[in-house]
Amino acid sequence: MGINQLATDRRLPPLVRAMMKPDFFADPPARVELKETLISFVLLAGHYAYKVKKPAHLAFLDASTAERRKHLCEEEVRLNRRLSPQVYLGVIAMVVRDGRYVLIEDDVAHVRDAVEYAVKMRRLPSDRMLDQMIADGTASLEDIRSIAERLVTFHASAAKDRAWSYGSAEAISCLVADNLGEIEPTVAEPLIRAKLARLSYYFKQFTSAHRELLDQRARNGFVLEGHGDVRCDCVCLTAGRVEIFDCLEFSERLRYCDVAAEIAFLAMDLDRLGQSNLSDELVRRYVELSNDPDILKLMAFYKCYRATIRLKVELIRSIEPDRSSKEQAEALARAQIYLGLAMKYAGEPPAKNLVIVCGVSGSGKSTLARQLAGRLGFEVLSSDVERKRLAGIAPTTHCPERFRAGIYSDSFSRRVYEELLVNAEKLLKQGNGVIVDATFRHRGERALAIEVAMRLGVKAFFVECRAEPDEIRRRLIERQTRAGEVSDATVETYLEQVNDFEPLVEIHAGFHLVADTSRGTAEAAAVVEREIDRLSRPSIAGDSS
């Protein structure tokens, strides 16, 4: 969430608003940045970070009183110093003096009138966070190996005295069932509930079939008090050090886990970010160093469980009343991604389909394509990205060409569509579903897609995005003000495309889905997913045309 939006949001607690002011701190920073998690506010002030816990009371967390939050802060420092001793500096207190909040860092234990507590940390460089390194394309296999090595060393010295209580097959069965039980009240959509039921069946079948192995691992030292929440945004690769921070301080039950579950969390997150090669290397290196090949038997199961944990977190965010509708929609979109991953790990990949998301510029097709990718677990191929790649320029380089000229000429566009569908065919042959995001405004372009589908014997769904003209104009004007945009389309481009768009009359009615995105794409994506799911069942008659 952007700092400017949060800083002016009246729903922020008064203490957090006070901490947003640089003069709140003894050594005032140039500015204070704010980040928000499900259970905390994190303020970045100069060389330090301050984490204030929300007064949350959830099924898995009780932070409802100041004393509970103080205890959680103390536990966070104690537990995180195992992996990042130089980062976690201690617990601080906030008091009220003359009607103003004041920060107390010294002798916190003797502060009797504290109204709130926070964890003080040394601030880590944002560009060295693993998720940012992946976004920048700088994360290497060697980086992943160093993370695996750090975790092997950490696990070797971690406590194991409560391994059976938390790591037996019976305990794990209860853990995954409780997690799904906490998800169900947040879900109303029937299709998602059906998927959760299939996940529940998978978890029950797996734990029953592997009961002996799970019990053996609990007895033999493979279950321990770990980090419990190792994700890419909790790993920082500084010079010569691997800092792994932000462990689960609020639940020993969730923190105690099989080492396979610990590795699976980070491996799942790497999968989510499209880095399956790094995910595989993490697991491979950990298995090699720990001499624990049984991890491989458990990896899909624990990845699936970890994905459902993140699914729960995002679903909770999506229904929090103090979040904006935009934030709720973004959380729901992330939840769909985790649900798609969980279904994949459970051995239920979606039907191998070719989905063409088409329509004029500004109709919402790229946003809908991304949301469908999360829901279906398909890969997205974008004409905007492919066009720039073939032109030998960066995706965000602006090319103000006239309509049907330069890299937007008919001949160059034909080349773009041919390359998109060659790549789509490769992915389909590998057993993956594919979404192609492009206008597909001409019958000849759509015919190329139908040929691929017929040749491979898969279904081709054409999802035509539509929106009110005023809404399309608004989107295109707003898009031109945003940095990092790939599309070059303008209002003028849209008007030209409208006149040049050939109706999809040649597409069989059962495979031509219309998505009205005028009021947003989240609801439209849900409708499209349900239709594709229904039409993909073996009992549905029809062909790819």
User: Is the pTM above the cut of 0.85?
Assistant: no
Are the CB atoms for 544 and 453 separated by under 8 Å?
yes
Q: What is the pLDDT of residues 472-513, one digit of tens each?
A: 999 999 887 776 677 888 899 999 999 999 999 999 888 999
The b-or-e profile of 336-364 (16+ CB within 10 A means b, else e) is bbbbbbbbbbbeebbebbbbbbbbbbbbb
- In contact, 335 and 319? CB cutoff 8 Å: no
Could you give the percent of the chain with pLDDT greater than 70?
Answer: 95
Q: Could you report the per-residue pLDDT of 77-134, keeping only the tens digit for each?
A: 999 999 999 999 999 998 998 889 988 887 776 778 888 999 999 999 999 999 999 9
Query: How confident is residue 286, by pLDDT bands cut at 50, 70 and 90?
Result: very high
* Residue 539 pLDDT exceeds 60: no
Q: Which helix (H) or strand (E) holds 206?
A: helix 190-209
pLDDT score at 344: 87
C-alpha distance from residue 420 to each of 139, 266, 355, 395, 440 (Å):
27, 31, 12, 15, 12
pLDDT of 53 higher than 80: yes
Q: What pLDDT does residue 544 have?
A: 39
Exposure string for 371-400, b = 16+ CB within 10 A, e = fewer: bbbbbbbbbbbbbbbbbbeeeeeeeeeeee
Picking from 85-89, 163-167, 313-317, 347-351, which range would have the lowest pLDDT averaged per residue?
347-351
d(CA 371, CA 377) in angstroms, rounded, equals 10
pLDDT, residue 542, reads 36
Tokens at 260, concatenated? 């396979």
Dihedral pair phi/psi, residue 70, rounded to 5°: -60, -45
Judging by beta carbons within 10 Å of its beta carbon (0-12, 13-18, 19+), is residue 276 exposed, middle or buried?
exposed
| Greater model confidence, 430 or 169 | 169
* 400: its two tokens: 């103000």
- Per-residue confidence band for 350, with pLDDT thresholds at 50, 70 and 90: low
The C-alpha atoms of residue 289 and residue 252 are separated, in whole angstroms, by: 26
- What's the CA gap between 371 and 325, in Å, rounded? 16
The answer to whether the CB of 359 falls within 8 A of the CB of 466 is yes
Q: What pLDDT was estimated at residue 530?
A: 81
pLDDT given at position 103: 85
Q: What is the mean pLDDT of the chain?
A: 89
Asked if the model's pLDDT at residue 24 lies above 80, the reply is yes
Whole-number pLDDT of residue 234? 94
Over range 519-526, report the average pLDDT: 80
Would you list the DSSP string of 474-534?
HHHHHHTTSTT------HHHHHHHHHHPPP-TTS-GGGEEEEE-TT-SHHHHHHHHHHHHH
How far is CA 11 from each of CA 94, 366, 511, rounded to the nearest angstrom? 20, 32, 45
Structure tokens at 166: 């938390």
Is residue 277 a contact partner of residue 270, using CB atoms and an 8 Å limit? no
Q: Flag whether pLDDT at 32 surpasses 90.
A: yes
CA 172 to centroid of chain Cα atoms: 24
Q: Give the pLDDT of residue 545.
A: 36
* Residue 242 bridge partners (DSSP): 237
Mean pLDDT throughout 315-319? 88
Q: Which two tokens stand for residue 365?
A: 């097709």
Q: Which of 201-205, 374-378, 390-394, 415-419 has the lowest mean pLDDT?
A: 374-378
Burial class (CB in 10 A: 0-12, 13-18, 19+), 30: exposed
Q: Which pLDDT value is given to residue 4?
A: 36
| Among 317-326, 438-447, 520-529, the range of highest mean pLDDT | 438-447
CATH number for 130-334: choose from 2.40.128, 1.10.287, 2.30.30, 3.90.1200.
3.90.1200
What confidence category does residue 151 fall into, taking pLDDT thresholds of 50, 70 and 90?
very high
How many beta carbons lie within 10 A of that of residue 193, not counting itself? 12
Residue 437 — very low, low, confident or very high, per pLDDT cuts 50/70/90?
A: very high
DSSP letter string, 286-335:
HHHHHT-TTHHHHHHHHHHHHHHHHHHHHHHHHH-TTS-HHHHHHHHHHH
At residue 470's C-alpha, the angle toward residues 467 and 471, to 5°, is: 50
The pLDDT, as a whole number, for residue 349 is 58
Q: What is the pLDDT at residue 513?
A: 94
Q: Confidence class of residue 325 from pLDDT cuts 50, 70 and 90?
A: confident
What tokens appear for 258 in the block? 């099989």
What pLDDT does residue 3 have? 35
Dihedral in degrees, nearest 10, Cα atoms 192, 197, 202, 205: 180
β-bridge mates for residue 129, sequence order: 236
pLDDT above 90: residue 273: no
The helix/strand/coil state of 353 is: coil
Residue 543 has pLDDT above 50, yes or no: no
Closest CA to 259 of 235, 230, 295: 295
Q: Which of 298-307, 374-383, 423-432, 494-503 has the lowest mean pLDDT?
A: 374-383
> What is the CATH code of the structural domain delimited by 350-535?
3.40.50.300
Question: What does the alpha-carbon distance between residue 76 and residue 70 come to, in Å, rounded to a whole number?
Answer: 10
User: Would you kindly state where each structural domain of the chain is located, as residue ranges?
Assistant: 3-123, 130-334, 350-535
pLDDT in tens, 217-254: 999 999 999 999 999 999 999 988 999 999 989 889 99
Can you give the pLDDT at residue 323?
Answer: 80
